[in-house]
Structure 1
């Protein structure tokens, strides 16, 4: 409180005293006791009113003790069950949670993780994947401003994500792994990694690459076998030793039958092997009899051409070639989709041939596009001709209904370059991406699709697609989102299939350790997407004839269902619309592969390095008490005393107002009682 405020309070006291003496002391005929009582009450009334007008501010300070956090992360994957360590893990968790000394020193919280981190303390040891990197990163973000040594109970075997040994170097808090398992080395053969194409073309050959791993001291020889059903399609003798403990087998197999072809890769197990599950893996290849051929016609060299080729050919069902206008004229009929990149007057013959062949097109325009020529050569759209350039951003049209599409982060993508002017589309069309400038819709489409008389076309007004693909990689860590978006556009444009009111999209086969999702779109009679419909899918397992029904849930402008709960097997499905006779049927296969069964030992080396990188210490699960002693004796994990200072004005003090009311009421009653009112 300042000296000035204290002076005002003293003056207020003097004024209140003076008024009270004047009213009840000077020439007053009241009794002495009554003078004193009424004088004091009047003094308090005036003083309190003046005090509220001065409104002095008081500082209050409170102290709290904040204990360090102790997050305990438990590996909830099935590998713990495979190692037969469930009881030991549960016992270790119980000891950590019930230790009184730890409870006094730390604020203990329990988390579980498989592919993602969860604060659910339900531990089933049934998750199909392990992502230690993500779990540690999310915990680090959660407790980044606090003292929070992290205990992680795991075998150290990771099936998803970046290598936690290296990413842990940025961890802010120390990590103390409890190693589930031991360092004993068993003799083991396993198929470490299997690389194959997802699709192959009929009468071609497809490559298979297998990485084989051996753990053991003595030299051994075994057989590497690939079977299709009961038939052996490949066999090779392989030898290993303690030094030469890995081999890479490269081979090709013939694609002789259309459809899903299933194979089993096996390393014939040794008699002394403890884990024989990891000696084999299954894979499948879908053999198709025709590829989608895409032609890019361009007179210039531009980074967008490379991005287009990488994106489109990431799907093995599609092939892409780039040709100049002169080279393209003779071969246009060999392709299902023609991409015209920044056309000018040299494209005149190409446009005439496309019109004659009725080919579907995607036109990409930019700074080197001749719009005078483009406006005259086709009648689908027209743009004002200027010599000014501008940079434009994209915003997705959430009501787009021609095909199912998700927002892959267009708002965060860099701008594309285009020529200034309004683009108008004069035939039936649907806008997929809107053009925005400084967050305001310019009224021109950036990407729109058109369909007239069975011919499909699209226009993308802007160059710089390579920047979008690069940003998508930076945002998500892979090109899959951007390539998937572009794949849907190409699939729509490359097909002349008549549009149906119910469209269903699914893969031919899935692995059961990945998400199994199926999506559908339903349109009303005017082919406008209908978000009010109720869709369901009936799934029938071919072997057991078991039928399961799932509802499809609305997500943006399509319906989706997650079928991850289904076991491995072959399935037929039917998607139907309630109160409608429309339905679509198909089939898919789920291949059995449990990556968590591939491990035999705990990864002691990596967990030791994780502890070293973060300043923690690793312990085996049998050394649980040593971990508790380490946490209790380490002086860097201390409670912190925090002080909180509050400045409170006197007028906010409710008790003072209550006292003022009481004093006024008391004076009034006393005066009334004594006949002075």
Structure 2
């Protein structure tokens, strides 16, 4: 810390006046001798002079400036790649010795640096961990280094020691990014390719429908077994349900082995795909992969009715069909064949889309009456053929007072207050690029229970008129689209992004909301997603309602999980207003059924379902260390590359790198009137003067 300095708001020469004022005040009081000795008189004179001088000096507002210099010791971070690929090539004894070596390297420089340890699992510690679990299921070296870069922005980082085999299978190559610190790399593993046979990946749809067949493709590769025959098998519940003989080509050549599997049982189904083991393989762990497929009973049924063909129909149909959970039947009511087909259909539809219906022909009415009686949800799309008068009666969402032959060209603006379902940020941004659609010009009155999804915008002026609106009343859902020309949105989306995902999301989420049935259960417990990885926590959310369908808390929830072998895991927890979730960790891979129960009044409410825990099988695909990547990373950042057998040289050379401490300077301004010791000094002077006068007969 530097010496403090005094700063004055006024000229420091005023201090002389303060001193003179103190002396004058003391002279007036103690010029005459009192009933005390001369020495006491002088002491009283000094006390009064100092007291008055200090009080007067405070009036010119002196400020004490304190400057503090703090030296920040440079940090050296040891970033450990604790992925499974290292655990595959080194046994537990080798890993323990290796960890001890790293610890010795860190100990050798701890007098020069502040040491920190990190790994891919997000663990951070100032001390080397007693045990490192090499079980991370993926390797993202770029994220590991970027996190360090962000955490040490503006701080003194001497360098990073990256201990890795150079293999990454997530994120981008760490050599693509720029780092403002030296990266010393320590290469672990073997760069010589080993003889091995492996399944690189499995290609399949996550969802299949009961009674259908689904394709399952195993991608097999090898090194060292050119020309040999191997058997690839598909196993379910311990039984081989399909197998194929495959002749292997050149090293690293990929072979696609295709199977067509029957989807028989509904629910999550596990299929093991294995490739025959061969003598001399470096590891057998990559000879087996798991495929998990959800088999469901049937798709949501959608009907699309229109008086005539239109480009919007094709765009909507294509968007709905992009979701495997939906099937859509199209009926053009001006075609006798379609009318007969719809008349004889026994299907029970979950949603009917009426395109430019009601129209002048009135052909729709008998079908619409049938769907109304069945309380089928509806989406009504306005167009040039729509009969406005019947439209107002039919749609129930809004009332349109349109001027005949008058139209507006409007763009879409998302209603930020809409909460029936969420649209992605990407879709909301894409709406700015969508071209205008044609809407009727006139006044619009909304139903009291309608909710607007998209507003109309004319030019740059946003209006409160709806472009798309939905309504939920008495268990029935209806939606209205007031625009024609949606096909242009689809084309524009594809032209701008090379895909039509944004348009598909808009239509499928609208269809999903309208076709879904209201869930009025008073007790719901469910996993927040259907699939988890083995290194993730399984999170359950819980909702409990009273008879008025108001959210309530404080219920005890009994949760039971059952794996495929019938093993049970029992838990219990109590919900509260701030936390309705419960986490379960440490579950092995597999399909799990869950059952949750709670007591509501005199009734025991029970819910059940299932979820999936998968193992990310990418670490054992490639076990050949990539020292070139590590060498390139060190060269780019100013560090240096070492092999694991050079760790002693690395230890010695690392100790020679001298990093300077960073000086952080802080200034503190403290007004004298805020100094506590000054208050106590004044109290001491005044009290001393009073006591002397008191006991010397001055009062």
TM range (shorter): 0.7 to 0.9
Deviation at 1:26, TM superposition (A): 7.1
Structure 2 distance, partners of 1:357, 1:364, is 13
Instruction: Give the structure 1 partner of residue 677 of structure 2.
Output: 655
Matching residue of 2:460: none
Aligned residue for 2:174, secondary structure, equals helix
**Aligned positions of 1:345-424 closer than 5 A:** 353-358=367-372, 360-361=376-377, 363=379, 376-378=392-394, 380-382=396-398, 391-395=413-417, 397=419, 424=446
Measured in 1, the distance between the counterparts of 2:534 and 2:570 equals 19
The within-5 A match list for 1:153-552 is: 153-159=163-169, 161-165=170-174, 168-201=176-209, 204-216=212-224, 219-229=226-236, 230-231=239-240, 233-242=242-251, 245-249=252-256, 251-255=258-262, 257-259=264-266, 262-288=270-296, 290-294=298-302, 315-319=323-327, 330=339, 336-339=350-353, 353-358=367-372, 360-361=376-377, 363=379, 376-378=392-394, 380-382=396-398, 391-395=413-417, 397=419, 424-425=446-447, 450-452=472-474, 455-458=476-479, 490-491=511-512, 493-494=514-515, 500-502=521-523, 512=534, 521-543=543-565, 545-551=566-572
CA deviation after TM superposition for structure 1 residue 412, in Å: 8.8
* Corresponding residue to 1:59 among 55, 65, 68: 65
Residue matched to 1:134: 143
Q: Distance in 2 between matches of 1:549 and 1:315?
A: 36
TM-score normalised to the size of structure 1? 0.77
Q: Deviations over 1:367-425 (max 9, x none)?
A: 9998966861336323576999784532465xx7xxxx789779997889999988644
- Corresponding residue for 2:627? 604
Q: How many Å apart are 1:352 and its aligned residue?
A: 6.7
RMSD: 5.1
Residue of 22, 39, 42 corresponding to 1:36: 42
The answer to which of 283-292 and 181-190 deviates more is 283-292
Mark the CA change 1:481 to 1:445 in structure 2 (over 3 Å): closer, same or farther. closer
CA displacement at 1:341 relative to structure 2: 7.5
Aligned residues: 645
Contact 1:188 1:273 in 2 (8 A): yes
Contact 2:526 2:541 in 1 (8 A): yes
Please, which moves more after superposition, 656-665 or 513-522? 513-522
Judge conservation of contact 1:38–1:667 (CA < 8 Å) in 2.
Answer: yes
Deviation at 1:51, TM superposition (A): 0.7
Mean alpha-carbon deviation: is it higher for 19-28 or for 571-580? 19-28
Q: Indicate how the Cα distance of structure 1 residues 179 and 553 shifts in structure 2: closer, same or farther if over 3 A, else same.
A: farther
Q: Measure the CA separation in 2 of the matches of 1:64 and 1:367.
A: 73
From 613, 616, 619, give the equivalent of 2:639.
Answer: 616
Secondary structure of the 2:416 match is strand
Contact 1:189 1:279 (C-alpha < 8 Å) held by counterparts: yes
Q: Is the 8 A contact 1:282 1:593 kept in 2?
A: no
SS at match of 2:277: coil
Q: Which moved more, 1:621-630 or 1:643-652?
A: 621-630
C-alpha separation in 1, matches of 2:513 and 2:581? 19
Alignment gaps of 5+ in structure 1? none
Q: Write out aligned runs for 1:20-31 (5 A).
A: 20-25=26-31
Q: Distance in 2 between matches of 1:370 and 1:660?
A: 92
Note closer, same or farther for the CA distance 1:564–1:208 as it changes in structure 2 (3 Å cut): farther
Contact preservation (8 Å) 1:222, 1:267: no
CA–CA distance in 2 between the matches of 1:628 and 1:420? 80
Conserved 8 A contact 1:360-1:493: no
C-alpha separation in 2, matches of 1:107 and 1:436 = 60
Unaligned runs of 5+ in 2: 1-6, 458-463
Q: Name the stretch that deviates more: 26-35 or 412-421.
A: 412-421
Find 1:70's aligned residue among 67, 76, 79. 76
Written as runs of structure 1 = structure 2, the 5 A alignment for 1:625-644 is 625-635=648-658, 637-644=659-666
Aligned equivalents of 1:586, 1:411: Cα separation in 2: 32
Q: Cα 1:377–1:40, aligned 2, differ >3 Å: closer, same or farther?
A: same
SS at match of 2:111: helix
- 1:10 correspondence with 2:16: yes
After alignment, is 62-71 or 43-52 more displaced?
62-71
CA contact (8 A) 1:513 1:595 kept: no
Secondary structure in 2 matching 1:644? strand
The answer on whether the counterparts of 1:52 and 1:651 sit within 8 Å (CA) in structure 2 is yes
Change (3 A) 1:590 1:657: closer
- Whether 1:567 and 2:576 are equivalent positions in the alignment is no
Tell me the TM-score normalised to structure 2 length: 0.75
Question: Are positions 1:113 and 2:120 aligned together?
Answer: yes
Q: Tell me how far apart the structure 2 counterparts of residues 550 and 423 of structure 1 sit (CA, whole Å).
A: 52
Residue 91 of structure 1 corresponds to which residue in structure 2?
Answer: 100
Cross-structure match for 2:696 = 674
1:190 touches 1:267 (CA, 8 Å); kept in 2?
A: yes
